[in-house]
Amino acid sequence: MPDLPRHRTRGEQFDAAVLDVYADVLDRFGDRLDGLDIAVDMIPRMRMDASVSQWSDEVAADGPVPLGRLVPVGVDEEGTPTRPRLIVFRRPVEERSRDRLELENWLRFVIASLVATYLNVSPETVDPRFDWE
């Protein structure tokens, strides 16, 4: 049977889009990001308080909706040290994206914002091409 191109699921397409955007950031800051893991989660799994009007810098959000989060170094339940992790929340980002270009722009916003927090630089330093207005 010939090898046919395999259909990619929406999740696989999203993961690939995240990696494409992150690859651009790695090209600029590669060695400074060696210790940072990147992951995709379907939805935010974090405590949310409706009375909070602004998120900390560790959360990239669209108003009250978190789109991604930077999880610092820590220790898991077994006492094992964990690496810092940048998590992109798939559903909230997809819901704001009407097409591939909007998806890329939202991912650039989330990834540049969180990498900037991780590196303690401005988002413009991470992605000078992005229109932050």
pLDDT tens digits along 27-48: 999 899 999 999 999 999 887 7
What is the C-alpha separation between 109 and 1, in angstroms, rounded? 43
Report the alpha-carbon distance of residue 118 to residue 131 in Å, rounded. Answer: 20
Q: What topology does CATH give the domain 10-44+55-126? A: Zincin-like (3.30.2010)
Instruction: Show me where the domains of the chain are located.
Output: 10-44+55-126
Q: What is the pTM of this model?
A: 0.89
What is the tens place of the pLDDT at every residue in 91-123?
Answer: 999 999 999 999 999 999 999 999 999 999 999
